[in-house]
Amino acid sequence: MNVKLRVLSAGVLFFIGHAVSAQKAKNDTIRGEIDEVVLTGSYGFRQTAEQVTGSSVKIGADKLVRPSAISIENALQGQVAGLMSTASSGQPGANSITLIRGLGSLTSGNNPLYILDGVPIPSGDVSGLLTSQNSLSLINPADIENIEVLKDGVATAVYGSRGANGVIVITTKTGKKGRSDLNFTSEIGSGEVAFEKFKMLNAEESTKLFGLSLFNAGQASTLQNGYNLAKSEYNWDGVSDYDWNRAVRRANPAFSRYNFNYSGGVENLLIFASLGYLQQEGVSRDSKFDRYNAALRADWKASDKLKMNMSVNLSRSVQTGATDGSSFSNPVFTGRLLSPTQSFYNANGTYNTKLYYINEEFNPIGIQNENLEKGTFNKVITSIGSDYQFLPHFRYTSNFGLDYTSGNELVYWNPDFGDGTFDGDTNGNGYLARQFNNYLTWNWYNFVHYNKVFADKHDVSISVGLEATRTEREYNSLSKQGFPAGTRLKYADVGANPTGAGGSADFRSLVGYVTRASYTFNKFLTFTGSFRRDGYSGFTGYNGNFWGAGLSFDFGKANILPGFFKSLKLRASYGENGNQAVGPYAKYDQYSYRAAYISSNAGYVSNVAPIDGLYWEKSDKSNIGLDFTFGKNGLIYGTVEVYKNNNTDQIFSVPNPPSTGFTSITKNIADSYSKGLEATLGFKVGNSEGLNWNTRFNYAYNDSKIKSLNGEANPTSIEGFKAFFPGHNPTEFYTRLWAGVDPKNGDPLWYTDDSKTATTNNSGLAKLSFTGKHALPTHIGSWYNELNYKNFKLSFLINYQGNYSVFDRWAFVYDSSGQYGYLNQLSSALHDSWTPDNPNASQPKYVYGGNKNANSASTRYLFDGDHIRLRNIEFGYRFTKDVLKIDRVKGIYVYARGVNLFTYAFDKNLYFDPESNSNAFTYTASNLGVYDQTQPNLRQYMLGISIDF
State how far the alpha carbon of 790 is from the alpha carbons of 25, 190, 203, 815, 883, in Å. 11, 30, 57, 55, 13
Cβ neighbours for 875, distance < 8 A, ≥ 6 positions apart: 792, 793, 794, 895, 896, 897
Nearest to 788 by CA among 11, 2, 17, 22: 22
Q: How many whole angstroms separate alpha carbon 787 and alpha carbon 785?
A: 7
End-to-end CA distance of the chain: 23
Handedness of CA 152, 153, 159, 165 (dihedral sign): positive
pLDDT > 70? residue 609: no
Predicted pLDDT at 658? 63
Cα separation values, 471 from 117, 327, 400, 584, 906, Å: 17, 34, 14, 10, 45
b/e sequence 870-889, b meaning 16+ C-beta within 10 Å = bbbbbebebeeeeeeeeeee
| 125 has a pLDDT exceeding 60 | yes
Decide if 346 contacts 263 (C-beta within 8 A).
no
Report angle CA 419, 911, 746 to the nearest 5 degrees.
90
C-alpha pair distances (Å), 717 with each of 158, 532, 735, 810, 939 = 36, 36, 10, 19, 36
The yes-or-no verdict on residue 672 having pLDDT over 90 is yes
d(CA 432, CA 452): 65
Mean pLDDT of the chain: 89
pTM: 0.91
pLDDT value for 67:
62
Q: CA neighbours within 13 Å on the CB side: how many for 633? A: 4
Whether the pLDDT of residue 596 is over 70: the answer is no
> Is 111 in contact with 104 (CB distance < 8 Å)?
no
Lowest mean pLDDT among 25-34, 663-672, 932-941: 25-34
| Number of helices and strands in the chain (H, E) | 10, 45
| DSSP at 110 | -
CA distance linking residue 606 with residue 588, whole number of Å: 10
Q: Judge whether residue 593 has pLDDT over 80.
A: no
Angle of helix 203-216 versus helix 223-234 axis, rounded to 10: 120
Give pLDDT, residue 586: 60
Instruction: Give percent above pLDDT 90 in the chain.
Output: 76
The Cα 377–Cα 373 span in angstroms is: 13
pLDDT in tens, 741-759: 999 999 999 999 999 999 9
Instruction: Determine how β-strand 2-7 pairs with β-strand 13-18.
Output: antiparallel
For 237-262, what is each residue's pLDDT tens digit? 999 999 999 999 999 999 999 999 99
pLDDT at 595 over 50: no
Task: Report d(CA 642, CA 702) in Å as an integer.
Answer: 10
Contact 226, 214 (CB under 8 A): yes
Q: Per this entry, what is the length of the chain?
A: 949
Q: Write down the pLDDT at residue 693.
A: 93
Sheet holding 119-121, edge to edge: 56-60, 144-150, 167-172, 113-116, 119-121
Bridge partners (DSSP) of residue 547 are: 531, 576
Predicted pLDDT of residue 663: 65
The pLDDT score that the predictor gives to residue 49 is 77
CB 263 within 8 A of CB 172: no
Q: Is 415 exposed, middle or buried (0-12, 13-18, 19+ CB in 10 A)?
A: buried
d(CA 93, CA 409): 14
Q: What is the pLDDT of residue 66?
A: 65
Confidence of residue 795 (pLDDT cuts 50, 70, 90): very high
Compute the average pLDDT of residues 376-386.
96
Lowest mean pLDDT among 59-68, 304-313, 335-344: 59-68
DSSP 419: G
Largest CA distance in the chain: 101
Answer whether 13's CB lies under 8 Å from 7's CB: yes
Q: Are 245 and 283 in contact (CB under 8 A)?
A: no
Q: Are strands 805-808 and 930-931 parallel, antiparallel or unpaired?
A: parallel
Query: What letter would DSSP give residue 843?
Result: B
Distances (CA, A) of 703 to 677, 729, 763: 9, 8, 32
User: Which residue type does 295 have?
Assistant: A
**Taking the mean position of all CA atoms in its chain, how far away is CA 494?**
38
What local confidence, expressed as pLDDT, does residue 594 receive?
A: 47
The three-state secondary structure class of 210 is helix
pLDDT confidence of residue 7: 29
Residue type, 794: L
Q: Hey, what amino acid is at 781? A: G
Return the pLDDT at 176.
Answer: 87
Residue partners of 538: CB distance under 8 A and separation at least 6: 508, 580, 582, 583, 584, 585, 586, 587, 614
Contact (CB, 8 A) for 473 and 128:
no
CA distance 151 to 146: 16
Mean pLDDT (whole number) for 527-547: 87
Q: E-assigned strands of 764-813?
A: 769-774, 779-789, 792-802, 805-808
Residue whose C-alpha is closest to residue 523's, from 55, 8, 47: 47
| Percent of the chain residues topping a pLDDT of 70 | 91
User: How far apart (Å, rounded) are the C-alpha atoms in residues 206 and 784?
Assistant: 46
Q: CA nearest 680: which of 661, 669, 694?
A: 694
User: At 625, which helix (H) or strand (E)?
Assistant: strand 617-630
Helix (H, G, I), strand (E, B) or coil at 728: coil
Confidence at residue 266, expressed as pLDDT on a 0 to 100 scale: 87
> What average pLDDT does range 106-119 have in this prediction?
91
Kindly report, residue by residue over 202-225, the tens digit of the pLDDT: 999 999 999 999 999 999 999 999
Mean pLDDT throughout 311-327? 90
Confidence of residue 661 (pLDDT cuts 50, 70, 90): low
Report angle CA 730, 735, 741 to the nearest 5 degrees: 145
- Residues 13, 639: contact at Cβ < 8 Å? yes
Label residue 666 by pLDDT band (50, 70, 90).
confident
On whether the CB atoms of residues 899 and 927 are closer than 8 A, the answer is no
| Residue 39 confidence (pLDDT) | 53
d(Cα 112, Cα 82) in Å, to the nearest integer? 13
Q: Residue 16: pLDDT band by 50, 70, 90 thresholds?
A: very low
Q: Which pLDDT does position 892 carry in this prediction?
A: 96
Cβ-proximal residues to 178 (8 Å cutoff; 6+ apart), any chain? 265, 266
By DSSP bridging, strand 431-454 and strand 458-481 are: antiparallel
H or E element at residue 602: none
Characterize the bridge pairing of strands 394-413 and 431-454.
Answer: antiparallel
Q: Residue 178: name the closest of 308, 311, 269 by CA.
A: 269
Nearest to 10 by CA among 103, 82, 72: 82
> Does residue 684 contact residue 634 with C-beta atoms inside 8 Å?
yes
